[in-house]
Structures are given as C-alpha cells and as structure tokens.
Amino acid sequence: MEIQVVKKVLDANLTVANQNRDRFSRHCVFAINVMSSPGSGKTTLLEKTLTRLAPEFRAGVVVGDVSTTHDAERLARSGAPVVQVNTDEFGGDCHLAAHVVASAIDRFDLDQLDLLIIENVGNLVCPAEFDIGEDAKVVVLSVTEGEDKPVKYPLMFRVCDVAVLNKIDLLPYLDYDRNAAIDYIHQVHGGMPIFELSAKSEAGFEGWLDWLRNGIRRKIGG
C-alpha cells in the first residue's frame, strides 16, 4: 500500500529559517551568510570589514567551525560581540543549519545590532543547501584557488547573491586567469555582482563596504 507524503525534506530547517528571518526583520538587523572554502580569507575579510564599519554601524558575528575558537578570538578583537558555534557539538556538521543559528542569535541583544555576519563552516557544498534566514548569501573565492571553482561547485554560486574575489594582491605572483574566474562565475550566475579585493591590503574594499552599507540602510529604513 502506497501512502503519498509529498513533503520537502528540509521543511523543518526552512521553518526555523523563516523564524530567524522574522526575528531579523523585527529587530531591523541585516543578516548575511558568508560561505567559502577553508582558507579563502573569510576571517581576514570580516576582521577588516568589522573594523571599517565600526564607526557607522553596530555589528555582531556568529562564527561556525567544526572545532576551535581561533576565528572567534580574532574577530572579537574588533570589539564586536562574537558567538562561536562549534558544530562538533551538533555532530560535526559541515554547515550551519537554521536551528544552530537560532540558538546562536539568542545570545545577542538584536536591538543593539544593525548587521549580523554569519561566518559559515568552510565548505563550498553543504552550506549552500541550508537556508538560515539570512538576507543575503555571500560566497568568498580567493585567487589561490582554481579559476573553475564556480563550475565545480555550481549550487553555491547559483544560490549566492554576491561573490567576493579575494587576495587580488597575490595576482602578480600567480598564474591565475581572473577573467576566466569571472566568466565561470557568470556562467553559473549571470549578472552576479563580484567584488575583487584584497582583505589584506584593503584594495578594492569600497565596493564591498558600499554593498553592505546599502543592505544595512535598506533594512534599518524598512
């Protein structure tokens, strides 16, 4: 005997993600989900971003890692409140699921924040699958990775709203074809905005910061 079910497997995650989204809206917090491979420079990017935006906006960070608090310690030096989530407590997951983010945001006073940055676990596959209630998804790709990462991991580049191409200060030393990388990104996600920058030297940082400022202002205003 066949029983029809027709239910999305990730419904439970989506329900909690929508609750997170409602909370961010109620408290006028612009929430971004930052994803990448390990070693793309996410933490350096976020350190500099927090420092640069600190005079204008109040930001908080949720840091997801399988283990260690190394990134959280680095980001906390910016003065922003940081909550570390180690997914080994949740079975060593390769991504942050919505319920994990929900318990992390319980530890913030959301009324005191304009921006919440969620630094996802370093992985270009699984985090793309899980909605966590964010306003925007950001993928960080560095020029020390292959040009063809976007076509190797298309779901990630398809679901993200913007891409950051990091470590451009290294281009003179690398045999890296940045035009090919950009073409691959646009092959997967036509028209996707790309911010080419160096988190280390802060070259090219303004476009990225302006995108964040606009997002925050839209959310605060709304």
187 interacts with other proteins by CB under 8 A: yes
Tokens 């964040």 locate to 212
177 interacts with other proteins by CB under 8 A: no
175 interacts with other proteins by CB under 8 A: no
Class of residue 7 by CB neighbours under 10 A (exposed 0-12, middle 13-18, buried 19+): exposed
Half-sphere exposure (Cβ direction) of 141: Cα atoms closer than 13 Å: 29
Which parts of 129-204 fold into alpha helices (H)?
149-152, 154-159, 178-188
Sheet holding 59-65, edge to edge: 82-86, 59-65, 115-119, 30-36, 136-142, 162-166, 194-196
3 interacts with other proteins by CB under 8 A: yes
Min separation Cβ 156 and other proteins, Å: 8
Tokens 């890692």 locate to 65
H/E run at residue 166: strand 162-166
Min separation Cβ 157 and other proteins, Å: 9
One residue of 154, 171, 200, 205 binding other proteins per CB under 8 A: 154
Total residues binding other proteins (CB under 8 A)? 35
One residue of 9, 55, 175, 221 binding other proteins per CB under 8 A: 9
- Name residues contacting other proteins, limited to 40-99 (CB under 8 A): 91, 93-95, 97
Min separation Cβ 152 and other proteins, Å: 8
Q: Are strands 82-86 and 59-65 parallel, antiparallel or unpaired?
A: parallel
Residue with smaller CB distance to other proteins, 5 or 175 = 5
**Interface with other proteins (CB under 8 A):** 1-13, 91, 93-95, 97, 125-126, 128-130, 150-152, 154-155, 158, 186-191
